[in-house]
Amino acid sequence: MVASTLAGAIALVGCGPAPWNEGGSTPSPTQTSSTPAPTPVSNDLSSGSTQRELTAGAVAATIDYWSTLSMDRWTATALKPVSISMVTTVTPDDGQKVYLQKATMTAVPGNVSTSFDPLAAQTDQASVSPGYLVLSPYSYSQTFNIGDVPAEATFVTVQFTYDFLVQTTPTSAEYAKQTASDTLTVAIAGGGE
């Protein structure tokens, strides 16, 4: 029984013409086209948060950014919150105060080949004059929301602009305006599918 099984296996191995009996031609390997792996989208909030140091004239701002929506839920149709918390210092610190007059957020969706139209800008204009006090230890916090983006978008570039007013002297009612800008890139989950 073992001998007949072995003989059957040997017979199967020998089936078909030998390559050298086919006129010298050998089968060529099949060419397969491989599509390159998509380039990973950079994501400034991939760890959940990020901190930036910005300088505008005499003002140095420390800004924390984060989202309460986990990155795997940042889909094209989700309401995508971006929260910020800011505190500033001024140099030289002669006792003058720093106020945030306005914070603006503009979201621009895109993918590797296209930049789509920006979403409507969102602005937090100070409701008090001359603005919100942001000189340490006082801070400013706000949440902006990014709405629907095109289904083809794989990321959204979030542009922030901050307008500060700095007292010219500690007792002055005159102010110098300073502007700082920052940009975050956040991946869209399932973007481009």
3-state secondary structure of 13: helix
Q: What digits encode the pLDDT tens for the residues 86-109?
A: 999 999 999 999 999 999 999 999
Give the sheet arrangement for strand 49-56, strand by strand.
49-56, 59-66, 80-90, 140-146
Strands (E), the chain: 49-56, 59-66, 80-90, 98-110, 122-125, 132-133, 140-146, 155-167, 175-187
State the Cα–Cα distance between residues 65 and 138, nearest whole angstrom. Answer: 17
Q: What digits encode the pLDDT tens for the residues 22-60?
A: 555 555 555 544 544 555 678 999 999 999 999 999 999
Instruction: Name the token pair of 83.
Output: 């929260």
Which CATH number applies to 42-187?
2.60.40.1470
State the Cα–Cα distance between residues 48 and 65, nearest whole angstrom. Answer: 9
